Structure 1
Amino acid sequence: MSANTTVQGSDAVPADGAGPLAPDIGPRVDSGAAPGLSPGSTVAVVGTGTMGQGIAQVALTAGHSVRLYDSAPGRAEEAVAAVAGRLERLVAKGRLGAAERDAALDRLHPAAELAGLADAALVVEAIVERLDVKQGLFADLEKVVGDDTVLATNTSSLSVTAIAGGLRRPGRFVGLHFFNPAPLLPLVEVVSGHATDPDTATRAYETMRGWGKTPVRCADTPGFIVNRIARPFYAEALRVFEEGGADPATIDAALRESGGFKMGPFELTDLIGQDVNEAVTRSVWESFFQDPKFTPSLAQRRLVESGRLGRKSGHGWFPYAEGAERPEPHTAPPAEAPARVTVRGSLGPAEPLVELFEAAGITVRRTTGDGYVELPGGARLGLADGETSFEYRKDDVVSFDLALDYAAASRIVLSAREGMDPDILAEAVGLFQALGKKVSVIGDVPGMIVARTVAMLADLAADAVDRRVATAEDVDTAMRLGVNYPAGPLEWAARIGHRRVCDLLGALHDRYPTGRYAPSLALARRGFDEGAEEQS
């Protein structure tokens, strides 16, 4: 099998569970503790697909001599030419000087056999995502490189520990998970297997910093940081769709225009490839022994089985053939805004709405209460909390979704029970339209769209930190840089309030008692501590 047959499992684009005995990933360290590779040292890259070429380019522009190897004859030479073309384009764009390009090309060489990598200080593998193939490669590499050579895998879906399991010196083995395209995206997950020496992880971390990357430390857990914690971004959207709460275009619009995400999950999975995204989800779910928090979607499975894989097949959730019309999100027609509202209690993370109401010329009366907006017709308008409208027997209730920034949000999503008095619903629609927002009305969805997604992201993030997968800082950094989230999930949860997030998930758990939404002990502890601080 050709070493350049790269099948990376990561579903991040430019856009064995670690428990109490997980290796201590440790604090950040100064570069003097275990410095990275010197610029003059040799870096070898095995596998010459897109990722391998990208990693080679990054090492090359950092000043290293680079050797490219591929088991398929001629592929290494082709990759050298391809990297040269990449550098030429950088020169044409004014991002690289001609002299720098020439110096870099003098340091770039193909290797005809593995023995040609003998003097490498670091070998990075970027080949097919098959455990047996990777294990065989590193067993062969260990026979030719020196004992102080750092061996690294760019795997995104396999266990770093398992890949290194058969090595004579597994302590010098580490995961270096780059994100595609490697020259552009700053994040690199530095993954310590159960046998990785702390000095090896630190050396790899500092090398990545020397290459201009933003490394984060991570224990060897399914999906590492990004692909583990990102699952709810897709899963909750699919759940809302499967239950008939809203269509893909409206769900995407909610997460983009209210949640602040760059892309919605349906358009993003079309870009990634439905087969790739579904395979990553299934891999993480199976690696966590079918934990319900990671359960795959039947709707996505059927889409893959139908051959609708997204952009690459011409059709996924949306059509991509030339001239095809994309579905538009549901947007409510214009409605008259109420002249006044009563705000009862604090709206919590939605409190900025009060100032926006007033700025729109709506009279606001403040009084005590449970945290909702009372409309002139008597209906209650409240932030999504995991309840459903039909459960309120005496009051007409309309829920509105969470927004990253209510002032900047261009769309607000409302949810109401079927059969609600249209005049009541029109009051709620008109209120938000008076703020200059588009309004989407969806079905009676508990937890709505943005709120339940952010709550689940926060829950998985808190759980990962408490299980010592990574530090809180590294988790938030990874999610902002790896998948371009508008805020780290832990930062966002602190802004919303951990108790509120816990309560929302608790309410969802009551409605879906499968364990999927049960708040983790880590999140519950944060909510308890937050409450204790407020009372002290």
Structure 2
Amino acid sequence: MTYDIKKVAIIGTGIMGSGIAQLFAQAHFSTVLYDAQQGSAQLAKDKLSQTFEKLCVKNKISETQCQTAIQHLSVANALAELSDCDLIIEAIVENLTVKQQLFQELESLVSPQTILASNTSSLSITSIAAKCAQPERVAGLHFFNPVPLMKVAEVIGGLKTAPNIVQQLKLLTEKLGHRAVIAKDTPGFIINHAGRAYGTEALKILNENVSTIEDIDRILRDGAGFKMGPFELLDLTGLDVSHPVMESIYHQYYEEPRYKPNPLTRQMLEAGTLGRKTQQGFYTYPAQEKESIDSTVSVHISANFPTIWIGADFLKDRQILEKYLTDLNIAINAAEIPNPKSLCILAFYGEDTTHACLRYATDPAKSVAIDMLYDFTQHRTLMPSLLTSSESTEAAHAIFSADQTSLTIIQESVGFVAQRVLAMIINLGCDIAQQQIASVDDINDAVRLGLGYPLGPIAWGDHLGAEKILLILQRISTITFDPRYRPSPWLQRRVALNLPLTFSPA
């Protein structure tokens, strides 16, 4: 069956519903607004009209485009007025029973050819359609806030959704100017599923007292390249939104360890410290002016510095460190075994400094680890061992901040901060591909566009080096015995065969 979608109804005119309506009206679809709360649909129409006029004033759209978009908006006062719509998208409360009742009522009003779509972010499309007489015409069409700016939407087919419905919604989404990604009906679909790794691993790192909130954010923002640190992001989103999603996906996957939430966010939720919206979360708002402290002051590199012995898992990391030290005229001890006076700089993956000292046979008192997974020129993370002397730590700090690059010193942890978080993000992306929840391209684009990551998770694994990511996970798993770090079969097989993670059999 082919579908000629010309008239669209949006049920629920909150932030999401209004955003979806804006998208359709600007694309010249006849767009009907309906809300069960009297007056809400008309208010949403009025606000959208003002939005179009503001866009016109800012020269984002022309006067003709503005007036045309406004003319494509209308209001329905009863569900029965939606009977001639070709597509109905609900954006109401995330309650399964309420959505099922709405879809059952709609079925009695609309044509058999009308597509019924849900903008749900967390509920099963199969479950929403379960009470419908025609579950094959029910699908998910999940947009992200703010809808006009977030250029991606997930198209989800339930177990009984007709394949041509999914394809029709994909084409429609592309007409709207958004990237359509097709996802299997699984908890969190693609984006909310893939997004579990960032915040949950950062919270686990915080819980282990590896580093402070500020420093974890700094490492992942300034070093790894995220637009916002995980705690900044949680504050922006609000724990009233984020924590229920964490718990929902964890329980929907039957307590899968990879998605395990942290007790801290539950406590903060119950205390009402939700983030920016309550002016108190992981940070206090508005942000107080702090006296600037330069932790990377200019250091005079002289003969007083010890020679440096480098232990590195990968040759490229050794070469980067050797060039940096040579440029500073710092002597490098090239002996196979360090002499007792050398400062030992260890560039490894997945271990803590203690285990690395044992493997490299270095003196823990004179050993400091450095994370080489991300761009060495942007930020540096140092990790002393429990026994590292203050003199060794200070020398390493002075040397690696001598060129004014920002630097953070953390407590001992398996896999540093960035290694743990990035490995978990990439591993989860690989597992989503392994489960065939979506194609590799759709996973990469969905996460990049929907979460704002520099790269999609699977592409990021190839960029950083899949063998490094696997090594991080294997070593953390061996040391901690924690099943959350078990490597995905997708990752393991491609590293074993020396294939890119983006490789899919024909």
* TM-score scaled by length of structure 2: 0.90
Query: CA 1:164 to 1:376, structure 2 compared with 1: closer, same or farther past 3 Å?
Result: farther
d(CA) in 1 for partners of 2:24, 2:316 = 44
Identify the residue that residue 380 of structure 1 maps to in structure 2. Answer: 344
- Alignment partner of 1:529 is 2:493: no
SS at match of 1:490: helix
- Alignment partner of 1:511 is 2:479: yes
Q: How far apart are 1:352 and its partner, in Å?
A: 7.4
Is contact 2:494–2:500 with CA below 8 Å preserved after alignment? no
Q: How far apart are 1:182 and its partner, in Å?
A: 0.2
Q: How far apart are 1:500 and its partner, in Å?
A: 2.1
SS at match of 1:280: helix
Identify the residue that residue 219 of structure 2 maps to in structure 1. Answer: 254
Identify the residue that residue 399 of structure 1 maps to in structure 2. Answer: 369
SS at match of 1:415: strand
Is contact 1:59–1:211 with CA below 8 Å preserved after alignment? yes
- Alignment partner of 1:313 is 2:271: no
d(CA) in 1 for partners of 2:180, 2:251 = 27
Q: How far apart are 1:520 and its partner, in Å?
A: 2.1
Identity over aligned pairs, percent: 32
Is contact 2:309–2:333 with CA below 8 Å preserved after alignment? yes
Query: CA 1:382 to 1:119, structure 2 compared with 1: closer, same or farther past 3 Å?
Result: farther
SS at match of 1:116: helix
- Alignment partner of 1:173 is 2:138: yes
Query: CA 1:329 to 1:116, structure 2 compared with 1: closer, same or farther past 3 Å?
Result: farther
Identify the residue that residue 154 of structure 1 maps to in structure 2. Answer: 119
- Alignment partner of 1:422 is 2:390: yes
Q: How far apart are 1:494 and its partner, in Å?
A: 1.4
Q: How far apart are 1:435 and its partner, in Å?
A: 3.5
Q: How far apart are 1:263 and its partner, in Å?
A: 0.4
Q: 1:80 is aligned with what amino acid?
A: K
Cα offsets for 1:479-525 (capped at 9, x unmatched): 11101001111112112322321221121112322311111222222
- Alignment partner of 1:267 is 2:232: yes
SS at match of 1:495: helix
Q: 1:252 is aligned with what amino acid?
A: D
Is contact 2:141–2:156 with CA below 8 Å preserved after alignment? yes
Query: CA 1:532 to 1:376, structure 2 compared with 1: closer, same or farther past 3 Å?
Result: farther
Query: CA 1:532 to 1:193, structure 2 compared with 1: closer, same or farther past 3 Å?
Result: closer
Identify the residue that residue 22 of structure 2 maps to in structure 1. Answer: 57
- Kindly report the root-mean-square deviation, in angstroms, between the aligned alpha carbons of the 2 structures: 2.8
Q: For structure 2, list consecutive stretches of 5 or more residues without a partner in the other structure.
A: 502-506
d(CA) in 2 for partners of 1:350, 1:382 = 10
SS at match of 1:281: helix
- Alignment partner of 1:138 is 2:108: no
Q: How far apart are 1:237 and its partner, in Å?
A: 1.1
For residue 347 of structure 1, the aligned residue among 297, 300, 314 is 314
Q: How far apart are 1:157 and its partner, in Å?
A: 0.8
Q: How far apart are 1:377 and its partner, in Å?
A: 4.6
Q: For structure 1, list consecutive stretches of 5 or more residues without a partner in the other structure.
A: 1-33
Cα offsets for 1:218-243 (capped at 9, x unmatched): 11111111111111211111111111
Name the one with the larger helix percent: 2
Q: How far apart are 1:423 and its partner, in Å?
A: 2.5
For residue 234 of structure 1, the aligned residue among 174, 189, 199 is 199
For residue 357 of structure 1, the aligned residue among 324, 328, 334 is 324
d(CA) in 2 for partners of 1:494, 1:505 = 15
- Alignment partner of 1:101 is 2:69: no
Identify the residue that residue 211 of structure 1 maps to in structure 2. Answer: 176
Query: CA 1:318 to 1:236, structure 2 compared with 1: closer, same or farther past 3 Å?
Result: same
Is contact 2:257–2:483 with CA below 8 Å preserved after alignment? yes
Is contact 2:368–2:388 with CA below 8 Å preserved after alignment? no
Query: CA 1:403 to 1:345, structure 2 compared with 1: closer, same or farther past 3 Å?
Result: closer
Of structures 1 and 2, the one with the larger relative CO (CA 8 A, separation 6+) is 1
Q: 2:368 is aligned with what amino acid?
A: V
Identify the residue that residue 15 of structure 1 maps to in structure 2. Answer: none
d(CA) in 1 for partners of 2:149, 2:242 = 21
Cα offsets for 1:249-302 (capped at 9, x unmatched): 010000001010000011110111122111111111000001111110012222
Is contact 1:245–1:444 with CA below 8 Å preserved after alignment? yes
d(CA) in 2 for partners of 1:161, 1:304 = 30
Q: How far apart are 1:440 and its partner, in Å?
A: 1.0
SS at match of 2:85: coil
Query: CA 1:386 to 1:186, structure 2 compared with 1: closer, same or farther past 3 Å?
Result: same
Q: How far apart are 1:334 and its partner, in Å?
A: 5.6
1:345-494 counterparts in 2 under 5 A? 347=314, 350=317, 353-354=320-321, 357=324, 360-362=327-329, 377-391=341-355, 392-393=357-358, 394-395=361-362, 396=364, 397-407=367-377, 409=378, 411-494=379-462
Q: Give the aligned length.
A: 492
* TM-score scaled by length of structure 1: 0.85
Cα offsets for 1:28-64 (capped at 9, x unmatched): xxxxxx98855xx111100000110000000011110
- Alignment partner of 1:520 is 2:488: yes
Is contact 1:179–1:482 with CA below 8 Å preserved after alignment? yes
For residue 149 of structure 2, the aligned residue among 184, 188, 193 is 184
d(CA) in 2 for partners of 1:383, 1:89 = 53
Q: 1:204 is aligned with what amino acid?
A: L
- Alignment partner of 1:293 is 2:258: yes
